[in-house]
């Protein structure tokens, strides 16, 4: 007998998993190949034009300020702080003094991050020009 034990109770599940993964990849690549080979490559200007949809779209420069990204990142950071506080508040009596000290340390570290962002000017909205 070889080193591989086919009598293992999970061998069948593993074989089905591998077969499903291979079938998924084969189906994906086959559909992409058939789609690309059968697609109509005739791209005319009339075909790409809007049909009864109002004015023709004009290309405008994408000017989104990085302040939106920075505000969203800071919001997520400080919103996650609240999510971590809910389990602590539920088990506050069970955790005792150790849990209280850990939460004070956690809030202190987040407060330091808040002060750092404030001093760097990340919380001040700058005018968009």
Q: Domain locations in the chain? A: 11-44, 66-119
Tell me which of 2-6, 32-36, 63-67, 79-83 is least confident. Answer: 2-6
- Given a contact cutoff of 8 angstroms between Cβ atoms, the answer to whether 122 and 70 are in contact is yes
DSSP symbol at 129: -
Distance CA 57, CA 55 (A): 6
Q: What's the start-to-end Cα distance of the chain, in Å?
A: 75
Least confident piece of the model among 24-38, 44-58, 68-82, 95-109: 44-58
Tens-digit pLDDT profile for residues 62-117: 777 778 888 888 888 888 888 888 888 888 889 899 999 999 999 999 899 889 98
What pLDDT shows up at residue 129?
43
Any idea which fold 66-119 has? Methane Monooxygenase Hydroxylase; Chain G, domain 1 (1.20.58)
Max Cα distance, the chain (Å): 75
Under the banding of pLDDT at 50, 70 and 90, the label for residue 128 is very low
Q: How far apart are CA 109 and CA 78, in angstroms?
A: 11
The encoded tokens of residue 93 equal 């009596």
Residues 50, 108: contact at Cβ < 8 Å? no
- Report CA Rg, the chain: 29
> Distance between CA 30 and CA 37 in Å, rounded?
11
Q: Given a cut of 80, is residue 8 above it in pLDDT?
A: no
Say if residues 113 and 106 touch (Cβ distance below 8 Å): no
User: What pLDDT does 17 receive?
Assistant: 94
């Amino acid at each position: 007998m070889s080193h591989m034990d086919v009598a293992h109770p999970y061998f069948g599940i593993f074989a089905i998993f591998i077969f499903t993964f291979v079938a998924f990849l084969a189906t994906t690549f086959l559909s992409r190949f058939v789609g690309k080979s059968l697609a109509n490559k005739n791209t005319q200007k009339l075909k790409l034009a809007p049909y009864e949809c109002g004015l023709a779209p004009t290309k405008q420069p994408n000017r989104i300020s990085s302040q939106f990204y920075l505000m969203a990142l800071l919001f997520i950071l400080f919103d996650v702080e609240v999510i971590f506080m809910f389990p602590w508040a539920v088990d506050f009596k069970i955790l005792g003094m150790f849990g209280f000290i850990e939460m004070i340390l956690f809030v202190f570290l987040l407060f330091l991050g808040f002060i750092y962002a404030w001093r760097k000017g990340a919380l001040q909205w700058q005018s968009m020009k």
